[in-house]
Amino acid sequence: MTDLPTPARTRFAPSPTGFVHIGSLRTVLFSWLWARHTGGQFLLRIEDTDRKRYVPGAEEQLIASLQAIGMQWDEGPLVGGPHAPYHQSQRLEIYQRYAAELEAKGVAYRSYIRGDEIEQLNQERVERGEPKLLSFRDLPGIDNAARAAAGEPYTLRLAMRTSGQTVLNDLIRGPIVFENATLGMPDPVLIKSDGFPTYAMAAMVDDHEMAITHVLRGDEWISTSPIHIQIYEAFGWQQPVWIHVPIVLGNDGKRLSKRHGDTSITEYLDAGFLPEAIINYLVLIGWSYDDKTEIMTIQELIERFDLTRIRPSAGVFDREKLLHFNGVYLRAMAPEVLVQRIAPYLSRAGIISAAPTEAELARVAQLLPLVQERLKLLSEAPETLDFFFVRPQSYDLGVLVPKKTEPAQVVQVLQAAHAALGQLTSWDEASTEAVLRQLTEDLGLKVGQVFMALRVAATGRTVSPGLFETLVALGQAETLVRLSNAATALSPSLVVS
C-alpha cells in the first residue's frame, strides 16, 4: 500500500434524485473506510446540476441516511470546509473558467447544432449505411459563425482523441487500454446550452479542486472512463487513484434490484436493522479481511480495511444473511444499550410512553434477558415483549386447550395452579418450577399438557420465553389474575351432563 497517496481524500458525490439504496451504500462505505483508515478526509458533494432530474427533498434524505448509518463526512453540506461551496449548482463560475481554458487550448469547441438536428443527421447517416456522428463541428448545413453572431445557444464539447491510446489504471484490475481510433464515442458535452456543466466536466473539475486522491465508483463507469481521463490529461492534472468497484448482485445472480431488497437505507433502519450490522455485512460484499473473519466492529473495519483486498468480481447481497448479522449484534449488545435502541419501537407500539420514564426503561431492561437471544430485528421487540405489559384480552380456546386434553382438564389445571402458586411465599424460578412439576404429577397429566396451558393462559401465545422465567417476570399477583381470566374464558365451553 506504500504507493498509494495517504492520507486519502475520498468523496461521496450523489445527485439529489433519489434515496441512498443498500446496494449503492456499499461503494460509499468503501470510500468512507479508506479515508478513516488513512487518517484522511471523506467529503460529501451534492451534484445538482441536472435540474430536470432534481427531486425536492432528496438531498435531505441523502444527508439523513448518512447521518443515521453513522457515516459522518469531514467536508460538505452542514459542516463546510476549505473547498466550499459543496453544491455544484453554486460552482458554475468555476466550471466556466476551466471550460474557457480547455477552449483556449483547442481541446474543446463550441457546437451550435441543436439536438433535433443531430437526430436528423444521424438518421440520414444510418439510412446511407454510415456511422453516427462523433464530431459536431464543421457540419454541413450548420453555419456556426452565423449562429454565433445571432447569439444562439451552444454547447461546449470535448474533442476526443482519434489516435493513440487512453489507459485507465485501475487499482484492482490493473491497466485497461482503450484504442482511441475505435472508441466510437461522440465528442461529449462539457457545458450544456443552459450554461450548466455535465457530470464529466463538473465531477472532474471538483475532484481536482477538492484534491480527491481516490475515486471509488461502480464498474459501470469503466466504459466512459476515457472521457474522464482525457479531461484530466487535457488539463495536465495528476489523476486520482481509480477504483472501479464490482456491482452487487441479488442471490439469484441478477443485478440487485428492489425485489432483492435494494431499497433505501432508511427503510432498513426503520425495519430494525442496526447501523453497525449493516456496515459490517455490506463491507464483506466484495471485500474480505481474511478467509474466516466476518463479525467486526466499525473500529476494527477501519483498522483493517485495505483497498487491494477488494475483489473485481461481483458480490452478492443476501437479506437473510444480513438478518443473521443483525441477530448476532443484537445478542451481543449490552442490555443498557439495547434498551435505548428498542425504546422507540416500544413507544410507537404504545407499550411504553413516547418519552419513557426511568421506571419504564428499567422494566424493559429487566425483561430483555428473557427475549434478547431470540431477537433478530429491533422491530420485533414490541411483539416479543407486549404480553408483559398488556394482559391477554381474549383467548383462542383451540390453543388454550392442548392436544389430547379436554377443556375440563385445563380448567382443573388452571384452578389448581392458581391455588398452588398463590400459596408461594418466595416468587422465583426454582419455587414456581417445583410447585408446577408437583402439580403435574398430582394431576396425572403430561408436562406438555400442563405447561402449554399455563403458558397460553399467562401470555396469550404458544411461544414465549421459558415458562418459569415468564411467570417470575410477570409477578405473582399478575400471574394469578391471568390464570383466573383464562379459566373464566374456558368455563362456558364445558358441557355439563
Question: Nearest to residue 32, comparing CAs of 16, 62, 3, 8?
Answer: 8
400 or 5, greater pLDDT: 400
- Collapsing DSSP to helix, strand or coil, 213 comes out as coil
Q: In the chain, what's the furthest Cα-to-Cα distance?
A: 109
258 is catalytic: yes
User: CA 96 to CA 107: how far, in whole Å?
Assistant: 15
For the chain, residues classed under CATH 1.10.10.350 are 397-493
CATH class of 397-493: mainly alpha
Give the SS3 label for residue 215: strand
Tell me the helices (H) and strands (E) count for the chain, helix number first. Answer: 20, 11
Residues 243-268: pLDDT tens digits? 999 989 888 888 887 777 668 888 99
Nearest to 390 by CA among 302, 478, 450, 304: 478
Residue 150: CB atoms within 10 A of its CB come to 9
Q: Report the range of poorest mean pLDDT among 235-239, 263-267, 448-452.
A: 263-267
Closest CA to 432 of 470, 391, 399: 470
Q: What is the DSSP string of 430-483?
A: HHHHHHHHHHHHHHT--HHHHHHHHHHHHHSSS--S-HHHHHHHH-HHHHHHHH
Segment 444-466 mean pLDDT: 94
Query: How would you classify residue 253: left for phi > 0, otherwise alpha for psi between -120 and 50, otherwise beta?
Result: left
Can you give the pLDDT at residue 6?
83
| pTM exceeding 0.95 | no
- 9-77+248-316: CATH architecture: 3-Layer(aba) Sandwich (3.40)
Q: Write the CA distances from 72 to 6, 87, 171, 431, integer angstroms.
A: 20, 17, 25, 52
Rounded to whole angstroms, the Cα distance separating 449 from 436 reads: 12
Delimiting residues of CATH 3.40.50.620 domain(s) in the chain:
9-77+248-316, 91-245
Cell numbers representing residue 100 in the block? 474557457
Task: Cell numbers for 348, please give them.
Answer: 410507537
Per-residue pLDDT of 273-296, as tens digits, reads 999 999 999 999 999 999 899 999
Model confidence band, residue 123 (pLDDT cutoffs 50, 70, 90): very high
334-354 pLDDT, tens digit each: 989 999 999 999 999 999 999
DSSP 308: G
What kind of architecture, by CATH, is found in domain 333-389? Orthogonal Bundle (1.10)
- Residue extent(s) of CATH 1.10.8.70 domains in the chain: 333-389
**Of 52, 258, 292, 403, catalytic:** 258
Cβ-based neighbours of 222, under 8 Å, separated by 6 or more: 168, 170, 176, 244
Q: Which CATH architecture has domain 91-245?
A: 3-Layer(aba) Sandwich (3.40)
Please, are residues 201 and 228 in contact by the beta-carbon 8 Å criterion? no
pLDDT (0 to 100) of residue 493:
55
What is the pLDDT, as a whole number, of residue 261?
67
495 pLDDT tier (thresholds 50, 70, 90)? very low
C-alpha 96/C-alpha 82 separation (Å) is 20
pLDDT band of 488, cuts 50, 70, 90: very high
Q: Write the DSSP string, 358-419.
A: HHHHHHHHHHHHHHGGG-SSGGGHHHHHHHHHS--SS--HHHHS-TT--HHHHHHHHHHHHH
